Amino acid sequence: MDILIVEDDPVDMKLLSAVLKANDHRVLEKASAEQAFEAIKARHPEVILLDLQLPGMDGLALARLLKQTPATCHIPIIAMTAAQEKFSREEALQAGCDAYIVKPVDTRSLSEQITRAAASPGKPA
């Protein structure tokens, strides 16, 4: 499965990427919402892992933009955040995210969460 990780923390990016590659996923990495949006237009991933707290445009704004764009509205988005007080599950789902993960990410269940989101886009997990 082609997965885009949008994460500005290099340590989190490295961990997520390693776990996904170990589970035979193809991974594209971007550190900002702006970079991610350009990459998504060029190469449609099957799932997006989206950190909500990003420099510049935050993850909620990117999720809204993707869900309002006909070419990308079908792509499942899994929101990730360590800042639960700033980005609630409800806000993420309202912005168009299909699932919500609190950091630190449970790497043991990550592939299962991705598979579930990919199988049921538009249905909150």
Cα torsion at 80, 86, 89, 95 (round to 10°)?
A: -80
Number of domains in the chain: 1
Please check whether residue 12 lies inside any domain of the structure: yes
Residues in Cβ contact with 73 at an 8 Å cutoff, skipping those fewer than 6 apart: 66, 67, 96
pLDDT at 85: 67
pLDDT, position 83: 73
SS (H, E, C) 15-49: HHHHHHHHCCCEEEEECCHHHHHHHHHHCCCCEEE
Give me the domain span that covers residue 111.
2-119
pLDDT at 82: 87
pLDDT 10s digit of each residue in the chain, 125 long?
999 999 999 999 999 999 999 999 999 999 999 999 999 989 999 999 999 999 999 999 999 999 999 999 999 999 999 876 677 889 999 999 999 999 999 888 888 889 888 887 655 54
47 inside domain: yes
**Do the Cβ atoms of 9 and 51 come closer than 8 Å?**
yes
Q: Check which CATH number belongs to the domain holding 97 and give it.
A: 3.40.50.2300
* Residue 125 lies inside a defined structural domain of this protein: no
With respect to residue 124, please indicate whether it lies within any of the assigned structural domains. no
Residue 24 inside a domain? The answer is: yes
In this prediction, residue 26 carries a pLDDT of 96
Residue 99, in any domain of the structure = yes
Task: For residue 95, give every residue at least 6 positions away whose Cβ sits within 8 Å of its Cβ, in sequence order, or none.
Answer: 60, 61, 63, 64, 67, 79
Contacts (Cβ under 8 Å, ≥6 apart) of 42:
none
The answer to whether residue 91 is domain-embedded is yes
Residue 60 counted as domain residue: yes
